[in-house]
Amino acid sequence: MVGCAVGGIRLCHDVWMTTATAEYRARFDFTISFANGGGISGDGFRLDLPRPDLTAEEVGLLLVRHLGLALVEKVELREFQVIEEAHRGSRGVGLPAERAERVIDLSHTIEAGLVTYPGLPAPTIVPHLTRADSRSRYAPGTEFAMDIITMIGNTGTYLDAPYHRYADGGDLASLELSSLVGLPAEVFHLRDAWSADRRGIGAATLADRDLDGAAVLIDTGWSRHFGAPEYAKGAPFLTEDGARFLVEAGVRLVGIDSLNIDDTESGGERPAHSILLAAGVHVVEHLTGLDAVPAQGGRFTAAPPAVRGFGTFPVRAFATVPSSH
C-alpha cells in the first residue's frame, strides 16, 4: 500500500500496487516483393507483438497482415530486434480470441478388425507403400506411408443415404452439404428410460420440442456396449410412429447411439429406415458420447465423402456447443 499527504493533509487513498503486463514490439527494416511484380520497403519499422518470442519469419507474416497485402512472394527482415515497448495498435496482431465453442467427437474409431454390426465384415488395413520402401523414391529424410483400407460402408459411425434403402434414392454424392453440416442439434437424453421389455422410442417421447430443420440425436447409452457381444441384443430403436412423427416435424437428420435405428429382432421389416429415407431424412447410426452434448443449443455435423452409387459410409460425426456448456 502507498499513501500521499502534503502538510499533514491526506490527498489520496491507500491503493494496492499492481504491475502492468509488459508489452513488446519488433523493430526492423524490411523488403517485400510481390508475386505479380514490384515491391515495397521500409526502415526502422515497428510492429506490436502478441508475445516476445516470435521469430523473424512469424513477424514477417504479421507485417503482411498488418499492411493488408495480397500476392506477397517474399518478406525479408533486417536489423531485427524485439523491444519492450507499449503497443500502438497494429492491425491483426492481437492475441487469438478464445474459442467461443467447443467440439465434441461423437464417432467410434475405425481400426482393423473392428466389429460394428455382428455378421458384417470387419475392416482390413494393409500397406500399399511402406515407409521403408518409400525412401528409395524420395529425397533423403523424406518418407511416406500409403495404405489400403477395405471395409463395408456400414463400419464405425456411419450415415445412410436414401440409396441405401431405395434403388432410385439419392446416393452419397447427391447429398447437399447444407443438410449435413451445422444442423441445430436436439438431443434426447433417454439413458434411464429403457429396459429389456421397453426398447422402442415412440412419437410421444419426442413430442415436446419444435424439431423443424433439426438433427434429432437419441442418446440411449447403448454405445457403452459397442464392440462387445451385448451390443447385438436388446438394443433400443426408433418405432414406426416415432419415425413418422419426425418426418412430419420436418427434421433433417436422425441419429442414434444404438445397434440400428430399427428393431433388428422383429424380423426383416425396417420401418424407421423406410420412412426416414423415403422422406430424404438422413440416418446416422452407432453414435457415441451423446451424454456430453446439451439437449439444445449445439450444432451437429456428419458429412460422408461424395461417393457415386453408394448409400452408406463412415462419418466423423461431431457436435459444436457453446463453451459455457
Domain boundary, last residue among 96, 121, 137: 96
Same domain? 262 vs 186:
yes
242's grid cell = 416415432
**Residue 277 forms part of a structural domain:** yes
Residue-wise pLDDT for 231-244, tens only, equals 999 999 999 999 99
What is the per-residue pLDDT across 62-83, written as a single tens digit (0 to 9) for each?
Answer: 999 899 999 899 999 999 999 9
Does residue 172 lie within any of the structural domains?
A: yes
The residues near 64 (Cβ < 8 Å, ≥ 6 apart) are: 32, 72, 75
The answer to the question of residue 6 being in a domain is: yes
Is residue 131 in a domain?
A: no
Contact 25, 51 (CB under 8 A): no
Same domain? For 85 and 169 the reply is no
**211 and 295: one domain?**
yes
The answer on 90 and 206 residing in a single domain is: no
* Structural domain count of the chain: 2
170-197: burial string, b at 16+ Cβ within 10 Å, e else: ebbeebeeeebeebbbbbbbbeeebeee
C-alpha cell at 90: 497494429
Q: Are residues 180 and 316 in the same domain?
A: yes
Average pLDDT for 142-155: 98
Same domain, 44 and 171: no
Mean pLDDT of all residues in 166-174:
98
pTM, rounded to two decimals: 0.77
| Structural domain includes residue 20 | yes
Cα–Cα distance, 190 to 235 (Å, whole number): 13
Is residue 9 included in any domain, yes or no? yes
135 domain-assigned: no
Contact indicator for 115, 227 with CB cutoff of 8 Å: yes
User: Per residue in 42-53, pLDDT tens?
Assistant: 999 999 999 999
Query: Do both 191 and 316 map to the same domain?
Result: yes
Q: Is 251 exposed, middle or buried (0-12, 13-18, 19+ CB in 10 A)?
A: buried
Domain span holding position 187? 158-322
CB-count burial class (<10 Å; 0-12, 13-18, 19+) for 6: exposed
Give the C-alpha separation, 3 to 279, whole Å.
76
**Is 310 part of a structural domain of the chain?**
yes
Last residue of a domain, which of 96, 122, 150? 96
For the chain, what is the mean pLDDT? 91
